[in-house]
Chains A and B, each alone.
Chain A
C-alpha cells in the first residue's frame, strides 16, 4: 500500500498570507495526485488533479506542484473560506489519502 504523509498536521496562518501544505508518497505516484478541501459537516471538494491542474471553478490563488513522491499545495492571499482541512490522495496504484492538514486562522 502506498502511504501518503501530509505535513504539518495543523498550519496556522493569518488572512492575506500564503499557506504551503506538503504531501509525501512512500513511493512514486508519478503525477497521479489530487487535493481535496473539506469544511466541517461538508463533503470533500476536488481542488487539484494531476498534481497541478485546478478543477472547474477553483480559484487561481490555489496551485499544486510536484511529481513522483513530493507534492505541494500553495494557497496565496488566504481568505476566510480557505480555512478548512486539506487532503491529498494518490490514484496511481489504487487509492490512498493522506491524514489531512488543518489550515486554521492565526
Chain B
C-alpha cells in the first residue's frame, strides 16, 4: 500500500532554513507528480508546491515562491522541501502528497501523516 512518511519538522527561528523529507513506498515513485500541502494550526489546507514525475517542472504557491524549493530524488524514492527565509506564518503541519498523474496535475490521491514546522523566536 502507498506510504508517505515525512520528517525534518521542528522549531526554527524566523529567517532561518529547514529541509523536509518525504520517504515514499508502495508505488512506483518515479512515475508520479508529488505535492506539498500545509495546514496552519486550527486552519484549512493550503497547497504549497508540486513537482513533475521527473523533477523537470516545479510550481509554487505565491506565498512561498522564491523562498521554498521542491525537489526529488527518484533513486531514493524521496521528496524534499527546502524552506528558506522562514516566517511565523509558515508555521503549519506540512503534508507530502501523491498526485494521480505524472505531471502532478489533477487531484491528490494519497497523503502522508504530516510533519509540524514551528517558526518562532
Contact = CB atoms under 8 A, between A and B. Distances in A.
Interface string A83-94: 000010101001
A91 B37 CA distance: 13
B47 A96 contact: yes
B46 interface: yes
A93 B112 CA distance: 24
A45 B111 contact: yes
Interface in A7-44: 32, 34, 36, 38, 42-44
A46 B108 contact: yes
Interface range for A: 20 to 34
B105 A43 contact: no
A29 to B, nearest CB: 12
Contact of A43 (B62, B106, B107, B113): B113
A101 B37 CA distance: 18
Interface in A51-106: 55, 87, 89, 91, 94-100
Nearest to A34: B107
Determine chain A's interface SS by DSSP, over half rule.
loop
B41 interface: no
B27 interface: no
Contacts of B59: 94
Nearest to B110: A46
A49 to B, nearest CB: 4
Given A34-B107, A43-B111, A43-B112, A97 B47 contact: yes
Given A50-B107, A95-B35, A98-B44, 17 more contacts: A32-B106, A34-B108, A36-B45, A36-B108, A42-B113, A43-B113, A44-B95, A46-B109, A49-B100, A49-B107, A49-B109, A87-B44, A87-B45, A89-B107, A91-B107, A94-B47, A99-B44
12 contacts: A45-B111, A46-B107, A49-B106, A55-B109, A87-B44, A87-B45, A89-B107, A89-B108, A95-B35, A97-B47, A99-B44, A100-B45
